[in-house]
Amino acid sequence: KQEVTQIPAALSVPEGENLVLNCSFTDSAIYNLQWFRQDPGKGLTSLLLIQSSQREQTSGRLNASLDKSSGRSTLYIAASQPGDSATYLCGRGYQKVTFGTGTKLQVIP
């Protein structure tokens, strides 16, 4: 069974800090790795998708990397803002996406 793990489950940082969220997965035969944001009471919003042939993707203050050999992906958030407070989930898969349980981020003003 494919497993996806996200540690820590929760993270609290002061505004302006750069931070890294971690995602690890079993089975290096990965097709893509997606990062999502979930706000309370809402669905998931796709942030970045990294194909297996890529090593990283960037969107604004966000940068996601993929290391298939170690089974890890990281989401780097630069200059964090209170509006970044949300739960961040990673998902891996092909026809079916398997998700981690997420990291709940709180950015303190």
Binding site for other proteins (CB under 8 A): 4, 31-32, 34, 36, 41-46, 49, 51, 89, 91, 93-102
Q: Give the shortest CB-48-to-other proteins separation in angstroms.
A: 8
Q: How far is the CB of 22 from other proteins (least distance, A)?
A: 15
Assess contact for 66 and 22: CB atoms under 8 A: no
Residue with Cβ nearer other proteins (24 or 32): 32
Strand partners, 48: 35
Strands 103-108 and 10-14: parallel
Rg, the chain, Cα only: 13
**Shortest distance, position 15 Cβ to other proteins, whole Å:** 28
